[in-house]
Each structure stands twice: as structure tokens, then as C-alpha cells.
Amino acid sequence: MPVTNGTAEIHQRESILGGATSAAMVAPAGPQKDPIIEGQAWFTDEQVQFIMDRIPGVLLQGQLSNGPWTAEFETAVARNAGAKYATAFPSGTAALEAALTALGIGAGDEVLLPVQSFIGNAMAIRLAGATPIFCDITASTHCLDPEEITRKATPKTKAVILVHMGGLISPDIAEILGRCEAKGLLLIEDCSQAHGAHWHGRPAGSLGAVGVYSFQSAKVLTTGEGGAVVTNNRALSRIVCSLQNRGRDMDAKTEAYARTGHNNRFPEVSALLGLAQYRSLPQLVAKRNETAAYYRARLHEEAPEVGLQAHPANIEHSYNKFIINLPQGVSRHEVKLFLHRRGIPASLCFAPLHRQPLFSDLGGAEVANCPVADDVLERSLCLPIDPRINEVQRKKVIDVLLEALKHEGVQPAS
């Protein structure tokens, strides 16, 4: 659906978020021709046909969860992640909680994770009984600063969650792996935004002890809602499968339960959605990279003061998000509002976890001590990167952004 928020609604929302709107930044609002779409699930005609052809069979067969389509979907997830085993879950948060539990992480343990992360990651740590320890990021990657592993690991630390932010496998992944090995820490990859991402040809999810995926509707690849755990460790995979199904012993000949677990079974129709999308994953990632390449080239040439997320040649970025860091002194509020009024759905990155009220008992921002995140996350914006964006829309996004920067007093590159 197109963006249809009217002027009054935009004013109201921005007022709630804080900040005054200058007259110079007010651009005409109204219906948009050829609207730019962002953050919404998309299925091609071929994908829709694939799904619709198979739904009657699901209904007639009568097994609506953890059936043959779920098994086929899990096979596709494992294959695309370069892993031997995959287990599907109703959400990425549920998948991460199961991964932590299967790894033996619980009460009294600490897990390091970047403050630039989805709230579900920290919640999953707590649901597993452990304590999240918030770490700083690097400005050029929006991913975990590897030095934080050395700075913040304690004898209680058992694992590190590495978020592939925006779909970027951290360029520091080799150093992160080395520091984890030196400290005896497990590396958990949060691949929620990294469907189709690779490092030196290795897929996201194949680099740590486990990889966790999300298939929520705003991701590169979706099942509506959903998640998965991938691993090459069979014993670990069997525990994860058990936790998917109320703690059942998956190798027992009779119905027996070996541990406490949730009802995390996966719907067959959701599996069909994912299988349909996997058929087009390379094309989806290619279209996002095409738009990203255009954005990067123009911003590098015409607005070099805008910080771009690193993208080394040895990494295939999936661009679930296109993240920019606005120059110091530029009002993100004003730029975002200007873009919205011109029909460009720019969005914010995740709110920094160390400033969430839920985690105030951990000491807040002062104890977390994440100065880079505190700076960068106040200046970062995400430009639309939907695979449906066309050449005209790409040009409009950058043209309007440059105009917004000019209104903010940023001189264009000569």
C-alpha cells in the first residue's frame, strides 16, 4: 500500500517524537504519483501462483503445522545458509531464545550484543534467563565493535550475538571470530536482515555456532512472521527441534518430553510463503543492490559528507536497510520530515537498547558506555531500498535528500 499519511497526521507524529519544524523544511504534501513503497511484503505473480496452487493440498491433507511443507522449507533455509540443519519457529525472537537455551545459556550467564539491535534480541536473552550486556558499534558498519568483546567480556560471559545490521556481514567478522575463540565464547549470528548475504562466498549463518533468521514481513524474505535456527551441529539441532515442540525428545520411539519448551510449531501455509520467496531470493537481493549502488555513487559524488555503511568487495550485502549517517549539526528530524512530505518513506534505525526503559536495571547508558552508538544513532536514517523501486524513484530519493541537506545548510560538493 502507498504512503497515505496526511499533513496533520505527519505533524502529530513528529510532534510526539519531539522537535520543531522550520518553515524552510516544509514541502508540499498530498497524493503521490508512483509512490515509493518500503517495509511491506511483496509477492510476484509467479510466487502467488506457486502458493495458491498448493494451499488446497494443505487444507485437504489436514496437517496445518510441522508438515511436509515445513520440512521442505527448513531444507531450503539450511541450504541457503550453508548449514546442515535448520528448524523453523513462529518468530525470530522465539528462534533466538531456543538457540540460547540449546547452547546451555541461562541464569547467571551474560551475552554480549550491540546496542544497535532489535529489541527481540535482548528480550530473548532475558527469556533464556541470561543477562544482556550492551556493546558499542563502529560508525562505518553499524555492527559490533570487535574491541568491545575484550573490553566487556567477564567470566560470566558465554556468547556474543553479532547482528548483521541492514544485511551487512560485519567486515570485522574475522577479528570477531578470533576474539571469541580467544575468550572461549560462542558466536551467534543474527541473520534476520541478511538473507542472501555472503562473506568471501560463505552465507550468513554459516560463520558462528548457530545462525538465527527472521522472516517477518519487512525482511528481504518473508513468511509473514517466522524465524529459524541454522547449525552444522546435529546434537544441537536435535535440542533446537525439541524446543520447537514443547521439549519433546525427538529421538525417542514413544512420546516423551526431555525438557521444558514452548509450542513453537511452524504453520504449513507460512512455509509455502517462504518457499515461494526463496525461488526469487537472488533476484530480490540483486534489485536491492542495484538501488544501493546508485545511491552510493551519487552520494559519494554529490554529498561526500554523508556517511555510508561500509561495503567491501568481499561481502555481498543483502541491503535489508540502506543506512546513512547525516553530517554533524544536521537535524535528522527535519530531513526525515522533508523526505516524508515528498513521498519518500525514510525511517529510523533501531532505538539503542541501552536507552530502553526495560533495561534500566542494567544501569542505563552510563554503564553501557557506548559513545559511538550514542552519536551515530542520533544521526542515522534508512533510505527506501524496496526491490520494486525503479530508476525514476531512485533518482527522486537522492534528489530530495540533497535538497533537504541544502535546506539544512550543507553545501553540495563542487
pLDDT of residue 414: 58
Q: What percent of the chain has pLDDT over 90?
A: 79
Residue 68, pLDDT above cutoff 60: yes
Give the pLDDT confidence of 5-14 residue by residue, as tens digits: 333 333 333 3
Angle ∠(19,21,22) on CA atoms, nearest 5: 130
Give the pLDDT confidence of 188-212 residue by residue, as tens digits: 999 999 999 999 999 999 999 999 9
Position 215, amino acid: F
- Structure confidence at residue 335 as a pLDDT band (50, 70, 90): very high
71 contacts: CB under 8 Å, gap ≥ 6: none
Give the pLDDT confidence of 338-353 residue by residue, as tens digits: 999 999 999 998 889 9
Give the pLDDT confidence of 122-171 residue by residue, as tens digits: 999 999 999 999 999 999 999 999 999 999 999 999 999 999 999 999 99
227 contacts: CB under 8 Å, gap ≥ 6: 88, 89, 90, 91, 92, 93, 94, 95, 96, 192, 212, 213, 214, 215
- Structure confidence at residue 385 as a pLDDT band (50, 70, 90): very high
pLDDT of residue 69: 97
pLDDT of residue 84: 97
The β-bridge partners of 380 are 325
pLDDT of residue 6: 37
Give the pLDDT confidence of 97-115 residue by residue, as tens digits: 999 999 999 999 999 999 9
Mean pLDDT rounded to a whole number for the chain: 90
Report whether 240 contacts 229 (CB < 8 A).
yes
| Mean pLDDT confidence for 370-388 | 95
Give the pLDDT confidence of 403-413 residue by residue, as tens digits: 999 987 777 77
281 contacts: CB under 8 Å, gap ≥ 6: 80, 195, 196, 220, 221
| Mean pLDDT confidence for 168-189 | 97
364: left (phi over 0), alpha (psi -120 to 50) or beta: left
pLDDT of residue 368: 82
Say how far apart CA 47 and CA 334 lie, in whole Å: 39
pLDDT of residue 297: 98
DSSP state letters, 48-81 = HHHHHHHHHHHHHH---BSSHHHHHHHHHHHHHT
| Mean pLDDT confidence for 259-267 | 93
Residue 24, pLDDT above cutoff 90: no
pLDDT of residue 32: 54
| Mean pLDDT confidence for 84-99 | 98
DSSP state letters, 348-407 = --PPPGGG-GGGGGGTHHHHH--HHHHHHTTTEEEE---TT--HHHHHHHHHHHHHHHHH
- More confident: 349 or 73: 73
Say how far apart CA 132 and CA 157 lie, in whole Å: 10
Q: What percent of the chain has pLDDT over 70?
A: 92
| Mean pLDDT confidence for 209-220 | 96
